[in-house]
Amino acid sequence: MKIKDFFNSQKPNDITVRQPYIIAEAGVNHEGDMEIAKRLIAEAKEGGADAIKFQTYKANTIASKHSPSYWDLTKEPTTSQFDLFKKYDKFWKKEFEELKKVCDQQDIEFLSTPFDVESATFLNELMDAFKISSSDLTNKPFIEYMAKFGKPIILSSGAAELHEVQEAVGWINKYNVPLALLHCVLNYPTADENANLGMIKGLAKHFPDNIIGYSDHTLPKDMKSLEVATLLGARILEKHFSHDKTLPGNDHYHAMDKEDLKVFRKNMDRVVELLGEFEVKSLPSELPAIKNARRSLVALKNIPKGKVIEYSDLTWKRPASGISPKYIDDVIGKKAIAEIEEDTVLIWHLFE
């Protein structure tokens, strides 16, 4: 599904659980290699992602030379944000235009998170929605710059207090664009005990008019975190994506791959099948049970012709082909028009 169509299809307060819109967050896991980037696109599509998202930045506009690391140094030993970003800032306008064409050929949505005005400007020509990183949630001028393009916005809320999310939502709402809010925890990786998936419900409570989703940084394991997030109401799921989880680096080891994504899609197909509808009603498949497992009023003993029916004349047994026990008060006081044998399933024409 195209992301425009996804936003148009969403209805506030719809509690139905369905397959979520999945964004495979490739980020810079291409490591500056166009062939790897194209492979990531193909494998995201194969795994069942609706969109693949990259990141677009230049080291000198995203971080000062003195910005310290905040990730697991045993997995990514680079101690400076600037130095890490410098490793992976090789792709720019020309490269992303090419990746957009590949995505169109693969029939998967192209997205990339911009981290500066220049990249936001040229990405606007390539994307139908903007993703804003948690790191820019308090960046009012940049948020407003992207909101002015008039396209749907997906905003992650990692490390944010409620009032900060409310402020950012207020800045975006001034431009009357569709908005999705993603629960996110800015730990790489996020330990299960820190995932706090309940915040998905918290966001839904405070922002009932917005689409709610989840940007996941837990280790993929059995993909249970995404499954639970979907059951809690997440409509958009974003998770880092890699072609090889064994590679060194900040984003490979806690990413999912195409096989993880296939497992999740298969599991969710089963979950959605199990959940079914949310309206309270009987199902066509239950009709035999309605006819045979429910009960009818039955003569507890022989009832002579002309007798006025009393409570002591009646019991209730299967099947439900006779008078329902819910009408017992209407049967009591009626007169039998013929002799009724014990264990007869009672029907209305036996009475006056």
Nearest to 241 by CA among 227, 254, 256, 253: 256
Q: Give me the pLDDT at residue 82, please.
A: 87
Nearest to 31 by CA among 189, 190, 260, 244: 244
The CATH number of domain 16-275, selected from 3.10.180.10, 3.20.20.70, 2.170.150.70, 1.10.630.10: 3.20.20.70
Q: Are strands 51-56 and 21-27 parallel, antiparallel or unpaired?
A: parallel
| Parts of the chain with a pLDDT under 70 | 250
Q: Where in the chain is the domain with CATH 3.20.20.70?
A: 16-275
Q: Where in the chain is the domain with CATH 3.90.1210.10?
A: 284-350
Contact 43, 243 (CB under 8 A): yes
Return the SS3 of 289: helix
Please report where in the chains the tokens 């006056």 appear, as a residue. Answer: 352
Cα gap 232→213, rounded to integer Å: 9
Cα gap 345→288, rounded to integer Å: 18
Q: Give me the pLDDT at residue 139, please.
A: 98
Please list the residues that pair with 10 across neighbouring strands.
none
| CATH fold for domain 284-350 | Type Iii Antifreeze Protein Isoform Hplc 12 (3.90.1210)
Q: Give me the pLDDT at residue 63, please.
A: 87
**Residue 182 contacts by C-beta under 8 Å, 6 or more apart in sequence?**
154, 155, 156, 157, 212, 213, 214, 215, 236, 238
Cα gap 67→58, rounded to integer Å: 14
* Number of neighbouring beta carbons within 10 Å of residue 158: 17
Indicate the pTM of the whole model. Answer: 0.88
* Number of neighbouring beta carbons within 10 Å of residue 24: 31
